[in-house]
Chains A and B, each alone.
Chain A
Amino acid sequence: MATATEAITAPLPAVEHERWRPSTAGWAARLTVLAIIFGGIFWITAIVPQYWADRISLAAIFAIIGLSLNIVLGYVGQVSLGHHAFVGIAAFVAAYYVTEKAGCTPEEGCALGDFALGMVFAVVSGGVAAMLLGLVALRIKGLYLALITLTYGFMAERSIFEIPFLTRGGAGMPAPRPDGFTTDRAFAYLTFAFLALVIFVDWRFLKSKVGRAVLSIKHSEPVAASYGINVTAYKVLAFVLSGLFAGMAGGLMAFRATNVVSNDFNFSIALLWVLMVVVGGLGNRTGVIFISAFFALFPFLLELWSWLDHYVSGSFGRSLSVVTVTVGALLAILTVIQFPGGFAEQVSPITRWLRGQKFTAHPEGHGHAPKEKGEKKHALLSKLGLHKGSEGKTDGASEEEAKVKEDVDA
């Protein structure tokens, strides 16, 4: 008995990882840079005029939406074109609760408790909307899911957003901000808190067993299933989490605008959200957050150049927000064709350095050549018409299996 216990408790033979660690000064430098980035964001929010603080809160909300879509697009590898349905439903539910049930008015304001309950209802309604769709739609294979989510979004736009008691027609449903957060600046800090919560949940989710299972599904469904992963159940779970995030974003959007109008949630903004996740870098939290915020702020940044504003509104009679759609789509096309890693890959040396690794473009511990080279070789083979040979196939399969194994073992 004793020997057995000893054997178990005995220290494992030390494995030489040879893992590079920064020096104390290196850590200090990294912490300083991080502090400057985060401090800078708070400092800017504190000194800009109120209307800019309002725009910054929109950026934080967009970041939440980006993280929500990132779960579906980046982790599960499916396309959702109907996210405006989840966001919109949640926004209307939150507004309906605080105005009709809790009796908040724009004049008298709203108690913090009512606001909190309104947010809870928003989050839950987003999750339920996603679950209802996910339970049915995720059984359907392949690209058809994109089609169904698009139809779902349209259905919501034409039907749910037209229900008179929920949306009060075109006038919109008021959603007064809670006491203490009525100013734009205070509300911006509130959205930061929600964004931090979403980032935390997303981080823990990805590190959990469920997160690893979901990632393995993205790499290969058959291989994941062969490891005993219930593919549909985990997909639905991820979808629901995405819906919960979207619901939170919807609730915040309602209180930010203080009046919810169904026109705010149309399909072209849902498409734009998809593109901003792609540009940010699929599955990469940092990239998605920054690019989502960039997409939200882009029209206002353009406005800073008054000559441009003058030119666009003078010759086209349009607000600059329209430019976001065009530029965002162009960026997405460029990303997909030329830089598949998105913004995240471009700044990966910086993020890697901040995480306590060396300042390089290639991840540590992966001895082989960077991935692009392999892809280029593959493209070359396919150009020669050789990639369909049996060799290539088995190679690909074992590679996929190795990837999934890595996830499951992790």
Chain B
Amino acid sequence: MRTAIVSGAIVALCAIILISGSGDDTGPNAFIIIGVSQGAVYGLVSLGLVLVYKGSRVFNFAQGEFGSIAAFIVYVLIEQVRSMEIPYGVAALIAVIGVVIIGLIMERVIVRPLLNAPRVTLLVATIAFALFAIGTQLLLFLPEPKSLAPIISKIPGGGNVELFNFIVEPQRLLVLAILVVVAGVLGYFFSRTDLGLAVLATSQDAFATRVVGIGVERMSRFIWGTAAFLGAVAGILYVPLSGALTPGVMTSGVLIPSFTGAVIGGMTSLPGAFVGGVIVGIVQALSNWGSGHYYLGERLWQDIVPGGPDVLLMLVLLLVLLIRPQGLLGSEA
């Protein structure tokens, strides 16, 4: 019920801004569209974060790196071994499978031995894994940015997609479509299937779950595999949009907004993660637009406060944690 109200409010708000600003070239419309698709990527990463938090009660700081690794695998397969002419879809599939395997290895090697350790220890372990991934990427690929082609650059049959007078890159639409599909599948999985319910039960009380005969280790494996999958998909979708593939790109660019999204949504709620990610995307885009559009006296806001959207993001995170730590849709703090 709350989910419906919150998402309805977001859609209504976007619609009001879009309709009232239509026809205005310098207005926020283009930024809304960018923000929603950006938010969709955050939503994918947030889903992974929430999933891991529900399963292992830890913030997975390596969630972003799943995406960077996947993007680099795609880059290597497409750009560096050009002679083999691997189709994009196959390369993406290989990357996703590879990252899921990496996620499973991480679960086995790092998470499992620390299941009974203090949470801070496991947190540090995920940080170490993220830094290991970033360091390896730095070693193998120079820090100079590379570009990765989008999955679809043209709509089949030609022509452009226009929304409210703005040409939208097909990749953005694809991101939105994939997020909706993934959210739908996950929602169905966790509410209707036995395996999904078992995962939820494990996250609530591992001991009780074990008593009724559910393998907690299997659930943990499943959770980390799914999280790696979500991260990989987000990475492959986001990097062509952002334009630059650098080592640790998903950690420096996506992880923090995604965490903020997950916290806004409530950290334990899967629809919340989805909604929170989109909210963060819209807020970021609008504040970007606003700080480049409005003046304080003679100067633009972005000249007075450099990095305004990042400051705003931190304030939003602080406010949510101080005022409503259970988030918009979370059930517990």
A-side residues, CB < 8 A to B, are 77-79, 81, 136-137, 139-144, 146-148, 150-152, 154-155, 157-159, 162-163, 267-268, 271-272, 274-275, 278, 312, 316-318, 322-330, 332-333, 336-337, 340, 378-379, 382, 385, 387-388
Contact = CB atoms under 8 A, between A and B. Distances in A.
Interface residues on B, range: 35 or more
25 contacts: A79-B124, A140-B321, A143-B120, A146-B59, A147-B317, A148-B321, A151-B260, A151-B313, A151-B314, A155-B307, A158-B306, A162-B306, A163-B306, A316-B139, A316-B140, A325-B131, A326-B135, A326-B139, A328-B135, A329-B128, A329-B132, A330-B128, A336-B114, A337-B113, A388-B207
B119 interface: yes
B290 to A, nearest CB: 15
B72 to A, nearest CB: 14
A136 B139 contact: no
Interface SS, A side:
helix
Contacts of A278: 124, 128
Contact of A274 (B116, B121, B124, B134): B124
Contacts of B116: 378-379, 382, 387
A333 B139 contact: no
Given A151-B317, A159-B310, A336-B114, A144 B135 contact: no
Contact of A329 (B117, B135, B321): B135
A162 B307 contact: yes
A49 B114 CA distance: 45
Nearest to A77: B120
Contacts of B251: 267
Contacts of B135: 322-329
Contacts of A324: 135
B196 interface: no
Interface of B is mostly: helix
B176 to A, nearest CB: 26
A152 B314 contact: yes
B110 to A, nearest CB: 6
B123 interface: yes
Nearest to A383: B116
Contacts of A154: 256, 310, 314
Given A150-B256, A271-B127, A326-B135, 20 more contacts: A137-B318, A143-B59, A147-B259, A154-B256, A155-B310, A155-B314, A159-B306, A162-B307, A268-B134, A322-B135, A324-B135, A325-B132, A328-B131, A329-B128, A329-B135, A332-B127, A333-B129, A336-B110, A336-B128, A337-B109
A109 B121 CA distance: 46
Given A147-B259, A326-B135, A271 B130 contact: yes
Contacts, number: 149
A295 to B, nearest CB: 12
Nearest to B120: A79
Given A159-B305, A323-B139, A330 B317 contact: no
Given A158-B306, A337-B113, A143 B140 contact: no
Interface of B: 58-59, 109-110, 113-117, 119-121, 123-125, 127-132, 134-136, 138-140, 142, 207, 210-211, 248, 251-252, 256, 259-260, 263, 305-308, 310-311, 313-314, 317-318, 321-322, 325, 333
Contacts of A329: 128-129, 131-132, 135
B127 A274 contact: yes
B5 to A, nearest CB: 25
Nearest to B113: A337
Contacts of A151: 256, 259-260, 313-314, 317
Contact of A326 (B117, B132, B311, B318): B132
A143 to B, nearest CB: 5
Contacts of B321: 140, 144, 148
Closest 10 CB pairs of A and B: A325-B135, A158-B307, A326-B135, A159-B307, A329-B132, A162-B306, A332-B128, A329-B131, A158-B310, A388-B207
B124 A275 contact: yes
Contact of B139 (A155, A267, A318): A318
A313 B314 CA distance: 39
B322 A139 contact: yes
Nearest to B267: A144
A136 B318 CA distance: 8
A329 B117 CA distance: 19
B219 to A, nearest CB: 15
